[in-house]
Chain A
Amino acid sequence: MTRLADTCAPPRRMRARWPGGDTAFRVAVTAASAFVIVVLVATAVFLLRQAWPALRHYGVLSFLGSDRWAPSEATASSAHPNPYGIAQFVYGSAVTSLIAMALAVPVAVAVSLYLTEIAPSWLRKPLSGLIDLLAAIPSVVYGFWGIFALIPAIRPAGTRLSQTLGSTPVLGPVLAGPFFGVSYAAAGIVLAIMVLPIITAICREVFATVPTTDKESALALGATRWEILRMAVLPRSRSGIAGAAVLGLGRALGETIAVTMVIGNSVLSITTSVLGPGATMPSVIANEFTESTEPFHLQSLMVVAAWLLLITLSVNVVGRLVVRRSGEESA
């Protein structure tokens, strides 16, 4: 210590610090954050302005009150009945997304548990990468796969299902035929595969954060591998799994082109059967905006887009509230 002081090196020259660095950094990051909010608000304003003529002509709520979308019946003057009913699209989006969630969440949880807890360590990285790659497949490719591989594959099962259970009292309306292949069910399966990588990636992170001490506590009580998962890993991860599902749901609600290719684009009423053709909010927009020539047609598609934005925003807000509440419970 004393020797260091004695040698008394010449003072090191230091470059003077630019005094405005802090301010510039703060302005830059603030501007970037503000930009994100501006984009969100501008999108909403744009949609509402474009949709406004149709909303004013038919009334704001009349769109949701009808499930018949018949642009050819629209005239410039008549406002009743509203030919642009969108309830069937809301129904289609809900049904396809719910099918996707019901299929994808359990599989994603299982895959993530395997990757974090069960798989041998040499397999974990490559397998995770492979699942992440699923997210890199363009959705139009998923659509093609859906039409030419998935639908032929599920046609026999779907046909049999509609023939056997399609006329039973309770399940009948949900599984009624005829089954042509293009359907809510096909769209739901394609969506499930598309959201699987997102949900898996988040669940993987969530499971990896469970403390070793929790797992060892279960182990020390005589838990088997499965019981460790049930006792220590899954309960701690409930909020994380919910969050992952919500993000997957957001993706599923907004997915457009793959769904448009396999759902059948039936717009004239609600098809209750999951084996029947339908349409979702994004699919009808993608399908019709290039040829929207009837009065208020394009404006009504904007109405669909505005409702879609509202619904996806609310799903995310609700999801976050759920996540926050369950997070507090486990804390």
Chain B
Amino acid sequence: MAPPTSPTGPSTDPSTCPAAAARIEVVDLTASYHGRPAVAGVNLKIEPRQVTALIGPSGSGKSTLLRCMNSMHLTVPGAGVTGSVLLDDVDIYTAKISPVEIRQRVGMVFQRPTPFPTMSIRDNVLAGLHLGRRLGRGSHDDLVEQALVRAGLWHEVKDRLKAPGGRLSGGQQQRLCIARALAVEPEILLMDEPCSALDPSATLTVEDLIKEIKQTYTVVIVTHNLQQAARVADTTAFLTVPAAGEPGRLVEVGPTERIFSTPRQQATEDYITGKAG
């Protein structure tokens, strides 16, 4: 991957950022822990500059599927993968791409906000850029401002960039983590229940942010919150566990409106109407 191009100046409009979104295609993917498949036989196309939501009951393998998309799954001891994940037509599991490079192209935001506790807000934003010594020492104010603007956090923190990231509120911390992920200029942003630890108003702020950043990036979001999927996602994929003890399966995928109005599968309808799951 080419090193991130140095922007000429801080931009306040996310749509002027370099178009970088990539497409993901999951082909016949089975992911397992200690030989037990957690999610099996998944085929899924994720289109660029869209938000794709993965919904489904607990244990249906949504997070595992998400973690397969940046090779994070394999960092857990005992984890295994068969099938393939194509990132712009290149299989990340067979091609000779290092997981490190994949994760620079496919960013991730977690359930709980995880700013590095000993780092300032500024250093948190720059953390990913300092990896591999891609960025020299210095304040890099332009990069910090750009990332924080894109994450919608700039006006709240611009006067205290040297304060520890842990001092911010939960919602601000999560947006700081998004800024940190975006600063690396990824092509795809994976979000694993990014709002489940946030209060309703912080959740709405982050959802607005997701709608903003999808103009530039491919976004995949795992959520337990069906309203959230309905609010932010263009495409929704429903996973479920067909029977106890079996791995999770992808049941149905389609435009969010269609999935919520006229689901084709009974299991999907049961789940979104609250009859199951």
Interface residues of A (CB under 8 A from B): 121, 213-214, 216-224, 227, 231-232, 235-236, 238, 329-331
Contact = CB atoms under 8 A, between A and B. Distances in A.
Contacts of A121: 77
Contacts of A220: 70, 72, 103, 107-110, 181
Contacts of A216: 72, 75, 108, 110, 114
Contacts of A331: 117, 166
B177 interface: yes
Contacts of B101: 222
Contacts of A238: 118
Contacts of B181: 220-221
Interface of B: 70, 72, 75, 77, 100-101, 103-104, 107-110, 112, 114, 116-119, 127-128, 131-132, 166, 177, 180-181, 184
Given A222-B103, A227-B132, A231-B127, A217 B177 contact: yes
Given A222-B104, A222-B184, A227-B132, A214 B72 contact: no
A66 to B, nearest CB: 46
A213 B116 CA distance: 10
A221 B132 contact: no
Contacts of B184: 221-222
Chain B CB count within 10 A is highest, among A219, A235, A238, for: A219
29 contacts: A121-B77, A213-B110, A214-B116, A216-B75, A216-B110, A217-B116, A220-B103, A220-B108, A220-B109, A220-B181, A221-B103, A221-B128, A221-B180, A222-B128, A222-B131, A222-B132, A223-B100, A223-B128, A224-B100, A227-B132, A232-B116, A235-B116, A236-B117, A236-B118, A238-B118, A329-B118, A330-B118, A331-B117, A331-B166
A225 to B, nearest CB: 9
B150 to A, nearest CB: 16
Contacts, number: 71
A219 B75 contact: yes
B110 A330 contact: no
A329 B116 CA distance: 12
A214 to B, nearest CB: 6
Contacts of B104: 221-222
Given A121-B77, A216-B72, A220-B72, A227 B116 contact: no
A223 B131 contact: yes
Contacts of B70: 220
Nearest to B134: A222
A329 B104 CA distance: 30
A235 B107 contact: no
Nearest to B105: A222
Contacts of B117: 214, 235-236, 330-331
Contacts of B177: 217
Given A231-B127, A235-B118, A236-B118, A221 B75 contact: no
Which of B70, B72, B75 has the most chain A CB atoms closer than 10 A to its own CB?
Answer: B75
A235 B118 CA distance: 6
Contact of B116 (A219, A222, A224, A231): A231
B131 A227 contact: yes
Given A214-B117, A217-B177, A219-B103, 8 more contacts: A121-B77, A217-B114, A219-B75, A220-B109, A222-B103, A222-B128, A223-B128, A235-B117
